Amino acid sequence: MLPHQIDTLISARWVVTVDHHNNVLNDHSVAISQGKIVAILPTADAQKAFEAKEHIQLPGHALMPGLINLHTHSAMNLLRGFADDLALMTWLNDHIWPAEKKHVGEQFVYDGTLLAAAESLKGGVTTLNDMYFFPAPTAQAMIDAQIRAAVSVNVIEFPTQYAVDADDYLKKGLEAYNKFGDHPLLQFTMAPHAPYTISDNTFKRMLSLAEELDMQIHCHIHETRAEIEGSLKEHGVRPLERLAGLGLLNPRLIAVHMVHLTEDEMAQLAANGVHIAHNPSSNMKLASGICPVPALHDFGINVGIGTDGAASNNRIDMFTDMRTAALLAKVGTENPEVVPASKALEMATICGAKALGRDHEIGSIEVGKLADITAVDLSDLVCQPCFDPTSQLVYVAGREHVTNVWVNGNRVVANRELTTVDEKELLAKAQSWHDKLKA
């Protein structure tokens, strides 16, 4: 019998599948054709069964699903380190929003998003769930970098360089959706910024549009105590209770941060199938608090991981945030058994896919899924000896160990080099924006 013709065969020391059984396969290969995984089998068998246009052999590597960053503000990579060591509202009101008002436009967003996409790909991330203004240049940058992304129809109830009011935000966001919504690398979300910046009427309109267009809803909620106190003062209820009354608590909602929660609120989230984007590094840096991830898991709530933007993190580094999520949960509960390595890896992959409504397509290495795959070199000195590759990926390896990345079966990082972005040109753009912002 003649071998089957395929596009790519990747042979590795381990394949960490993050499937329903959390299988870790020794000396296996992943066969890819037309952007999808068509087989996973022992390497000796794969070499007989397939004839590949490209056979990549990674004897010291672990293959893992591409990481899914469930919450970020990509264009804010150009504001990395612009204002540090400040409380959230001081950081926003006195520094970030004024800088955005002066500088943010289509070119800023395109360049910043491309910078974030490049950083993400080199760090093993294959999907970004973005929230920012100017979705058209955002979408174009994601396409040019060849990274998978959820692009936002972003709304905030005050004028910016992008739009003047909620109607204008929605109009422009939907124009971008109509232009780019069918691209295979993209999906769109409805993204009301936060309860303290969105009116009841706008929330209702965005919920209706999300249902009509089959979009997820991406929103900052319960990030700080001040946010909750403000809601009690203005609306007489905590933000979640207000959103529940508006019908927002449902499986479309990706609730970002969710640091300050009562048990009753967690039960309500579970009953309504709400997803949570946990941002451990950003929450720590802004001193917002610790999201109660182990308790959320006890309630059966799906929790993914996000980095937040580079202006508040300051790294778009999912390896760091995956490790931090596990360690923060342990120290926060004084229980070393909560969020083990396998769970942290799930949070950074399949849980993010589920929150985006894409777990049937991405988030694990399984036959029939899209070939979004990251290769991590565990033969490096600092990764040896390796008793458990899953544990090594979470607690030891970093983005510096990522050597190859595939999105839709296309190799977008090859031997640590980007194949879709000119790094020298991108660095020059970053320096140019630094000079403008500093001036």
Q: Give binding residues for Zn(2+) as ranges.
A: 71, 73, 220, 308
Locus of tokens 């049937």 = 360
Query: Which residues does the annotation place in the binding site for substrate?
Result: 100, 193, 223, 308
Residue 108 three-state SS: helix
Antiparallel, parallel or unpaired: β 373-377 and 402-407: antiparallel
Rg (CA), the chain: 21
Cβ atoms of residues 338 and 331 within 8 Å: no
Cβ atoms of residues 397 and 383 within 8 Å: yes
Locus of tokens 């396969």 = 25
Distance in angstroms (rounded) separating the CA atoms of residues 343 and 237? 34
Distance in angstroms (rounded) separating the CA atoms of residues 202 and 303? 26
Query: Which residues does the annotation place in the binding site?
Result: 71, 73, 100, 193, 220, 223, 308
Cβ atoms of residues 110 and 141 within 8 Å: yes
Cβ atoms of residues 310 and 116 within 8 Å: yes
Residue 357 three-state SS: coil
